Amino acid sequence: MAQFVPRPSFQIPGTIPKTYFLGHHHAGANKIKTLLPNISIILECRDFRLPLSTQNPSLERAIAGRQRIVVYTKSDLGTDSTTARHALKRIYGDNAVFWDKQKPATTSALLKRLKDSARTVDSLVGVRALVVGMPNVGKSTLLNSLRNAGISGKVAKAAKTGDQAGVTRKIGTAVRIVASDEKGGVGGGVFLMDSPGIFQPYVNDGETMIKVALTHGIKKGLIHDEILADYLLYSMNRYDPTLYERYCEPTNDIYEFLTAVAEKDGKLRTGGVPNIPESAARVLSQWREGKLGRYVLDDLSENSILTHQAKIEQPPQSMSQAKKQQKLERSQTRETS
Ligand SMILES: Nc1nc2c(ncn2[C@@H]2O[C@H](COP(=O)(O)OP(=O)(O)OP(=O)(O)O)[C@@H](O)[C@H]2O)c(=O)[nH]1
């Protein structure tokens, strides 16, 4: 049999939206800026499967220069190989941590970092920390886990969670996650605030939108499931085509793959016709649960990281930003002439 050759690139359909910046994202971003002067530490969450694509350049600029820990969430769904972790540690050193809601040790390690700050910060009111990040990366889940681990006894769930973008829409009130020393804790204690997931105002490339949609970072249905399933097939083929060997031989044909899924998992219409939309939905939910491989979708080669960092520092302009800039330059020219 001829050797399988994966597609070298993915054809991005022209229908992919380039933004998902909603009213509550705008309001949340403004509110975060007003809170920052009273915040000692920022926990910036990014999905470990998309360590670059879930970095929000505008949030990045807003929090520049502040004490920050980058929390790569959902590490149970990413790779166990140390290569990706080392690549990210090279950027942020000890300020890059990998978190998994099912691994209490990862929560305790983060809590220890916050307690250490409470010991060093000379504040009677305690350390104020803020969780930020793109939608659905796991911010509220992290807050609840830190609170459960940090406060003894049974505590009520402080923040609502759910596997879809936009569960949290407003900045929450400060929640105590470490008691003060007179109550058996540390210093003035630690308070943590949740914030709504904030999307970047404009994403220049459709591939990032597709990857974020795969992890439910934008509203379900904005990008067709079959396009997402096709991208997934493309990425599995590049990573390891045996990930889907229970369905079929390696293929670049999404309909061949989805037909095999329909036949194997009983997604059939009357008369045995494969139900392609249901197969696509099935494939996506399997992948989201880590049942079609655990790997990092972003390219973490040195070159790719450098290009990404350069884009963060000098983001390409959106069409409307470019128009605004032109208008401003024209009016300045008129004023000086
Ligand atoms: N497998 C896995 N799932 C996680 C982890 N952390 C969070 N999740 C799931 O991810 C989904 C989103 O979590 P949330 O905490 O609601 O995310 P959020 O960032 O607060 O979302 P927004 O409200 O959109 O800002 C939920 O279904 C969580 O159970 C993790 O470490 N591993």
| Res 337 pLDDT > 80 | no
pLDDT for res 330 = 66
pTM: 0.92
pLDDT band of 42, cuts 50, 70, 90: very high
| Res 322 pLDDT > 60 | no
Residue 245, φ and ψ in degrees, nearest 5: -65, -20
Residue type, 179: A
DSSP string, 115-184: HHHHHHS--TT-EEEEEEESTTSSHHHHHHHHHHHHSSS-----S---SSTTS--SPPPPEEEE--GGGT
Question: Counting atoms of ligand 1 from 1, which one is nearest the CA of 75?
Answer: 31
- Determine the Cα–Cα distance for residues 282 and 287; give it in Å rounded to an integer: 9
Confirm or reject: Cβ of 77 under 6 Å from ligand 1: yes
Which residue in 146, 176, 172, 177 sits closest to 159, CA to CA? 172
- Determine the Cα–Cα distance for residues 267 and 259; give it in Å rounded to an integer: 9
Q: State the DSSP H helix or E strand holding residue 17, giving kind and residue range, or none if neither.
A: none
| Res 320 pLDDT > 80 | no
pLDDT for res 35 = 92
First to last CA, the chain: 73
Average pLDDT over residues 88-100: 96
- Name residue, tokens 């920390």: 129
Average pLDDT over residues 50-62: 93
Confirm or reject: Cβ of 205 under 6 Å from ligand 1: no
Give whole-number Cα distances, 221 to 16, 164, 188, 231, 250, in Å: 11, 11, 46, 15, 27
Confirm or reject: Cβ of 141 under 6 Å from ligand 1: yes
Q: How many residues does the chain have?
A: 337
- Determine the Cα–Cα distance for residues 22 and 81; give it in Å rounded to an integer: 36
Half-sphere exposure (CA, 13 Å, Cβ side) for 60? 18
| Res 157 pLDDT > 90 | no
C-alpha 93 – ligand 1 centre gap (Å): 24
Please give the ipTM for the structure prediction.
Answer: 0.99
Pick from 20-24, 45-49, 189-193: least confident: 20-24
Contact 25, 32 (CB under 8 A): no
pLDDT for res 154 = 75
- Delineate the domains of the chain, giving CATH numbers in brackets: 23-194 (3.40.50.300), 224-289 (no CATH)
Tokens of 113: 């970092």
Pick from 64-68, 118-122, 216-220: least confident: 118-122
Sequence-distant (≥ 6) Cβ neighbours of residue 60 within 8 angstroms: 312
Confirm or reject: Cβ of 215 under 6 Å from ligand 1: no
Sequence-distant (≥ 6) Cβ neighbours of residue 304 within 8 angstroms: 52, 298
Give whole-number Cα distances, 82 to 86, 89, 173, 196, in Å: 6, 10, 37, 31
- Determine the Cα–Cα distance for residues 224 and 307; give it in Å rounded to an integer: 29
pLDDT for res 242 = 96
Q: Which of 136, 215, 220 to mutate to test the pocket of ligand 1 (most atoms within 8 A of CB)?
A: 136
- Determine the Cα–Cα distance for residues 181 and 83; give it in Å rounded to an integer: 40
- Determine the Cα–Cα distance for residues 187 and 313; give it in Å rounded to an integer: 37
pLDDT for res 315 = 66
Which residues are known binding-site members for GTP? 136-141, 197
Average pLDDT over residues 216-241: 96
C-alpha 131 – ligand 1 centre gap (Å): 13
Confirm or reject: Cβ of 110 under 6 Å from ligand 1: no
| Res 327 pLDDT > 80 | no
